């Protein structure tokens, strides 16, 4: 048996930037252990596994990091949409996650528009040891998203954000409550509304290049601070990537971006 497999760079208009995701198209069900082994073999931050449903334009979707399964991954969802819309010549597609979350995507000129959930946050008291591990001494605000186990830490400037050099082993020892820590700052230029970086050593990813799920949290956070429903965001990792965000309602976010297919092949079983 061969599983059609793709590597796709998400949130970018250039190959070898943005966030690479694996996408595996399944004709038959395979077990969790095999999906986890494939994700470990590909060794990307996430690999999405798409399965058939009773609708031609809908797929089941599951997400695996090299070490664990996660409930939702934005960049692997965008990568999956890119694969389906481009290789199957479709104008729109939807995915159903293991938690019964429905994600829809469609072509929009040279962009893909994809709908993500919108998550709220609450104030959060973070252990000093965690902040020390990331080199953050004077956070402006710290919030927590219970649905994703994600902390959001706002810092004063883009320069401070870029210069962070986390001690990941120290961060892992400092807490096991987090899946991800997102550090963000308000933009002072006209290109974007805010910048961010996303760190996930607790789930096997030190720094995620461009994180859709993080923007499902950051969109609401910055919307309330900036008084905007439409925003442009950039994640300032080494690979970097952009997202145009539009809040649809209290629970739904539309993301507009691009993705690039860089590898097409198959896994032989």
Read off the tokens for 100.
């019964």
Using left for φ > 0, alpha for ψ between -120 and 50, and beta otherwise, residue 240 falls in left
Say if strands 259-268 and 58-64 run parallel, antiparallel, or are unpaired: unpaired
Which residues are identified as catalytic?
A: 46
How would you write the chain as a 3-class SS string?
CEEEEEEEEECCCCCCCCEEEEEEECCCCCCHHHHHHHHHHHCCCCEEEEEECCCCCEEEEEEECCCCEECCCHHHHHHHHHHHHHHCCCCEEEEECCCCCEEEEEEECCEEEEEEECCCCEECCCCHHHHHHHCCCCCCEEEEECCCCEEEEECCCHHHHHCCCCCHHHHHHHCCCCCEEEEEEECCCCCCCEEEEEEEHHHCEEEECCCHHHHHHHHHHHHHHHCCCEEEEEECCCCCEEEEEEECCCCEEEEEECEEEEEEEEEEC
Read off the tokens for 145.
């998203």
Please name which of 218, 225, 232 lies closest in space to residue 181, comparing C-alpha atoms.
Answer: 218
């Amino acid at each position: 048996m061969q599983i059609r497999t793709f590597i796709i760079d998400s949130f970018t208009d250039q190959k070898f930037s943005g966030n690479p995701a694996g996408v595996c198209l399944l004709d038959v069900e395979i077990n969790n252990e095999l999906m986890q082994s494939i994700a470990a073999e590909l060794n990307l931050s996430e690999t999405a596994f798409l399965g058939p449903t009773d609708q031609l334009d809908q797929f089941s979707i599951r997400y695996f990091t090299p070490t664990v399964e996660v409930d939702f991954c934005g960049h692997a969802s965008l990568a999956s949409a890119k694969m389906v819309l481009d290789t199957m010549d479709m104008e729109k597609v939807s995915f159903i996650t293991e938690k019964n979350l429905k994600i829809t995507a469609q072509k929009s000129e040279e962009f893909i528009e994809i709908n993500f959930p919108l998550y709220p946050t609450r104030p959060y008291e973070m252990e000093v040891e965690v902040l020390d591990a990331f080199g953050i001494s004077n956070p402006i605000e710290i919030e927590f998203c219970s649905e994703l186990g994600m902390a959001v830490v706002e810092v004063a400037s883009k320069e401070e954000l870029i210069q962070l050099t986390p001690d990941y082993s120290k961060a892992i020892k400092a807490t096991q409550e987090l899946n991800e820590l997102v550090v963000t700052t308000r933009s002072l230029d006209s290109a974007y509304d805010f910048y961010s970086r996303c760190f996930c050593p607790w789930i096997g990813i030190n720094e995620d290049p461009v994180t859709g799920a993080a923007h499902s949290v950051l969109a609401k956070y910055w919307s309330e601070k900036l008084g905007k429903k439409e925003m442009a965001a950039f994640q300032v990792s080494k690979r970097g990537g952009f997202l145009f965000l539009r809040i649809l309602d209290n629970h739904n976010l539309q993301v507009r971006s691009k993705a690039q297919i860089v590898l097409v092949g198959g896994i032989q079983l």
